[in-house]
Amino acid sequence: MNDAPATPVGRALSSSELVTVMSHFHRAEIARMAGWRDRIDRTSNWAITVVAAMLSVSLSTASAHHGVLLFAMLLVLLLLWIEARRYRFFDVYRARVRQFERHYFAQIFSPQPDFASDWLLVVGESLRAPKFLVSQRVALARRLRRNYIHLMLILLLAWILKLSTPSLLDQHAPVGFVGTLREAVAAAALGPVPGGAIVALVTVLYAGLLAAAFLMSGDDGELSFGDVHV
């Protein structure tokens, strides 16, 4: 093996060439960031479509089982997991774009002395060995807090309405709400699984979602700068 020290390849760029390279690279990173942002929006749109479709099916007729809403919850959670993975890729390219905005363009428009002079080394290392900047857990918390907690709460309210309204469970039942909480819990039965177990599972699920959305810290890194975030 050759143990000789590595030497830089190519030649040093002139100032005009460096400006050209940085401008093209910045444009390319914006394009990649926008591409992943579009993928995130598509997943969110799928989730909204699923919620709207399941609400229409379950609340429009008494013959629709309340399990349709439980199935919708699972689908939305699956889409949340997919979107969190896409968000991790998006965050890598967003961070590079923000490096240019904060340390290059901002210095041109509003110079500050000795402001992160080694930022190009950070960008270079990111190109040499790309790594995710956030974990799957943090990505899940961010996307849940941004969009998905609202969709899940809508499904929960619809499920409660379905169980507490006899006319939505049986077309021959009178219009109104159930008389006792025990009747609503009993109506939550799913096949051989009793209603109490289903209610307990849904309660644990939503307690975990609320804890993940509002109790776990996920606003570190680039989100610490400014108030405008994706």
What percent of the chain is helix, strand and coil (3-state, nearest 5)? Answer: 70, 0, 30
**Model confidence over 26-79: pLDDT tens digits?**
999 999 999 999 999 999 999 999 999 999 988 888 788 888 999 999 999 999
Q: At what angle do helices 149-164 and 195-214 cross, to 10 degrees?
A: 160
- The pLDDT score that the predictor gives to residue 94 is 92
Counting as low any pLDDT under 70, the low residues of the chain are: 1-11, 13, 114-117, 168, 170-179, 217-222, 224, 230
- The pLDDT score that the predictor gives to residue 73 is 95
Give CA angle at 47 (67, 189), nearest 5°: 10
Q: Which two tokens stand for residue 206?
A: 């939503």
- The pLDDT score that the predictor gives to residue 220 is 65
Buried-state track 106-139, b at ≥16 Cβ within 10 A, e below 16 = eeeeeeeeeeeeeeeeebeebeeeeeebbeeebb
- For residue 56, give the amino acid letter: S
pTM: 0.84
Whole-angstrom distance, CA of residue 75 vs CA of residue 69: 10
CA distance to 33, 91, 138, 180, per residue, from 220 (Å): 19, 12, 10, 46
